[in-house]
Structure 1
Amino acid sequence: MNLIICYTPLQVKIAESIVKKYSGEKFLGVFLGSEKNDKINFYFDKMSSFCERTIYIDISVETNKLGYLFSLINFPKNYLPISFFEKVFFANVNSLWIQKILSNIIFEELYTFDDGLGNVIKNPPILVEKWLVRKIISCVIRNSYSVKKLLEINKKHFTIYPKYKNIISNVETLNIFSDRNLSDLPSVPKDEISILIGQPIFSDEDRNVSLINKVFSVFNIDYYYPHPRECYHVSNIRYIYSKMIFEDYISELLLYKSKIIVYTFFSSVALNIANFDGVEVRIIKLSVSESCDDINNAYRLFEELGIDTYSEIEI
């Protein structure tokens, strides 16, 4: 039996491709989730379809530091139905939850896969460990692993970004969107469609709504694909609601659209779909009056990765 651990719907999509590569071998799937919604439920069900058995572990307690620590301390050693695995696969090498799970089991081989942009940027957060604090916590929760140790024993890394240098060596490329099935698509009578990917950039909801309205007006965009964390609604624009992650949705939409223009501010989705045939990614650079390091760093990253800005808009 093999073990594969996921945190996000995109990781489930990657996990599905990995399981296909090891057809004939059985997998136990573990999903570590901090919330449950239609999208999470959809991908947990998908995980159940290609794994022999699946387990959902609620880690919402992470928002409370003390509760988080106690949960890790009290995490049962026999929580998983078996304690020996031939192969283990996961993305988040810096996750204490994953390190705790690994400390409770025995395994022969360890493999990793991408956790989004964090795998192709310089000096990513996933490789940073506050050594003293981390060492103390690891002792308290009886964690036998660190990022460094996991990378040392890692046999292979699966990537969805073949054109970019990965922070982990010995990589193998996965094409996770090669299989397409028609479902959950909008009915539009033209060959070309444009979509804006939603991002709740500001804490002020009115400011987010104003930005979206301005972008739709300037670029004459057809549809809006909202972000799961959005709590606001923009009137007079057409929404796309789907249980699928955007990458899956676009992959299926390409079945009958000759061209899809995707507008985004600085979503990591841009990198995931940049190589799709028939997709044009247009980065809208935000020019803000106040200092926003997160926004500036995001655009700097896209420049480093060779993704050009399509246009700039003042807000």
Structure 2
Amino acid sequence: MFLFICMTNLQLLIVRSIIEKEQLKKVDVLFIGDVDNVKNQYYLKKIQPLCRHSDIVPQVAKFSTFKTIQRTRYAKKIMEKYAREYHTVFFANFHVPLIHHILSCITFSEIKTFDDGTNNINQKSIMYENKNISATSKLIRKLMGRKYHKDEILKLDAKHYTLFPNRTNIIEKTEGIILVHHNGLPDTNNGFKKVLLGTVYTDALKNKEDECVFLQHLQRFIKKEAVDIYIPHPRYDSHQFNGVLNVSSEMIAEDIILEYLEQGMSLEIYGFNSTVQYNLNNISTIKNYKITSPFLKDSFNHGLGFDFNQVSV
């Protein structure tokens, strides 16, 4: 049996590709995220025909005291609906403590991982941050139910599936996987649109207090560049901009953009180091622009070696 642990809609799409590529049977899927998010429900439903069992559970609360014990209890509660033993456990977020706790309350033969968007190839991302945890702290945590940490996971990782096989990855043992297929797109040009891809601005900004100011800058950018379409990030979809089509959809940005391409449109896409842009980078009718700003964290301003034009906000 095989267990996949996901935390984003993109990861669900990657999981589907892995299941189909490896022709896996007896698959269980666990999604950790917003239970009420329509996109989460939509993409989990799409993968269910390939699964033996699937479920969605909320992210663990940020406990101030006895974090390890609380997470251990929560992990055991989550896994009550799942098997106690798996041949292979697949996941992307090898740095997330809750996943370490889940691994600690089941048995498995091997671990395999897959990309969490561009975080694996962005050396400024959280995945490249290292915390020094003493042997004593690890022993205490083990006694409280946490057997694994990031460094142990990386040593155990048997294979990593990546969307970017030609890029340096934090995990060396990589195998490429295709997420977006676009062979059937029409050759005719039925128009031109400019698309702005949103991000989780509170995560992207150096100072969360600059959120309102930065959104005002983006509003001016939309007007200046005559942007036609705004596709918000699934975790930041409450804000709407003026003078632009604010897309509200169950689908993620890749699928929304592919629908425009299937109508024969050419697109200019503006984004914040967005995985969406890298997934669609080899499509000739798309021109990508990377947004930079002194308001943004280094991980968002950091170039990843793709041939994108840059615009400053």
**Same-fold status (TM-score > 0.5):** yes
Q: Which amino acid aligns with 1:298?
A: F
Structure 2 partner of 1:158: 161
Residues 34 and 60 in structure 1, CA contact (< 8 A), matched pair in contact too = no
Q: Which amino acid aligns with 2:195?
A: I
Structure 1 residue 134 displacement after superposition: 6.0
Structure 1 partner of 2:266: 259
Distance 1:21 1:143, change over 3 A: same
SS at match of 1:284: strand
SS at match of 1:119: coil
SS at match of 2:119: helix
Q: Say if 2:72 is the partner of 1:66.
A: no
Map 1:274-293 onto structure 2 (within 5 A): 274-286=281-293, 288=294, 292=295
Structure 1 residue 147 displacement after superposition: 2.1
Structure 1 residue 212 displacement after superposition: 2.9
Residues 35 and 56 in structure 2, CA contact (< 8 A), matched pair in contact too = no
Residues 33 and 60 in structure 1, CA contact (< 8 A), matched pair in contact too = no
Structure 1 partner of 2:231: 225
Measured on the aligned residues, the alpha-carbon RMSD in Å equals 2.9
Alignment partners' CA distance in 2, 1:180 and 1:66: 53
Alignment partners' CA distance in 2, 1:8 and 1:144: 25
Alignment partners' CA distance in 2, 1:264 and 1:179: 20
Structure 2 partner of 1:40: 40
Residues 29 and 54 in structure 1, CA contact (< 8 A), matched pair in contact too = yes
- Cα-to-partner distance string for 1:172-216 (whole Å, 9 max, x where unaligned): 11111127999xxxxxx9432211112335645653442233112
Map 1:143-154 onto structure 2 (within 5 A): 143-154=146-157
Structure 1 residue 156 displacement after superposition: 1.0
Q: Which amino acid aligns with 2:88?
A: K
Structure 2 partner of 1:131: 133
Residues 112 and 158 in structure 1, CA contact (< 8 A), matched pair in contact too = yes
Structure 1 residue 252 displacement after superposition: 3.4
Structure 1 residue 96 displacement after superposition: 1.8
Alignment partners' CA distance in 1, 2:311 and 2:69: 48
Q: Which amino acid aligns with 1:147?
A: K
Distance 1:217 1:129, change over 3 A: same
Structure 1 partner of 2:220: 214
Structure 2 partner of 1:15: 15
Structure 1 residue 37 displacement after superposition: 1.3
Alignment partners' CA distance in 1, 2:122 and 2:140: 27
Map 1:103-252 onto structure 2 (within 5 A): 103-122=104-123, 124-127=125-128, 128-132=130-134, 135=138, 138-178=141-181, 190-199=190-199, 200=201, 203=209, 206-227=212-233, 228-252=235-259
TM norm structure 2: 0.83
Give the share of equivalent positions with the same residue, in percent. 25
- Cα-to-partner distance string for 1:263-315 (whole Å, 9 max, x where unaligned): 124444333332334221112333x4xxx4x434422x21x4244443334xx
Structure 1 residue 162 displacement after superposition: 2.1
Structure 1 residue 137 displacement after superposition: 6.3
- Cα-to-partner distance string for 1:118-157 (whole Å, 9 max, x where unaligned): 2112365325233139626632532222222222222211
Higher RCO (CA-CA < 8 Å; seq separation 6+):
2
Structure 1 residue 18 displacement after superposition: 0.7
TM norm structure 1: 0.83
Distance 1:212 1:113, change over 3 A: same
Stretch moving more, 239-248 or 118-127: 118-127
Stretches of structure 2 that go unaligned for 5 or more consecutive residues are: none
Distance 1:19 1:283, change over 3 A: same
Structure 1 residue 3 displacement after superposition: 0.7
Alignment partners' CA distance in 1, 2:9 and 2:184: 17
Residues 103 and 144 in structure 1, CA contact (< 8 A), matched pair in contact too = yes
Q: Which amino acid aligns with 1:104?
A: C
Distance 1:206 1:109, change over 3 A: closer
Residues 179 and 279 in structure 2, CA contact (< 8 A), matched pair in contact too = no
Residues 263 and 283 in structure 1, CA contact (< 8 A), matched pair in contact too = yes
Residues 230 and 247 in structure 2, CA contact (< 8 A), matched pair in contact too = yes
Structure 1 residue 245 displacement after superposition: 1.5
Alignment partners' CA distance in 1, 2:243 and 2:105: 53
Residues 35 and 41 in structure 2, CA contact (< 8 A), matched pair in contact too = no
Alignment partners' CA distance in 2, 1:254 and 1:81: 40
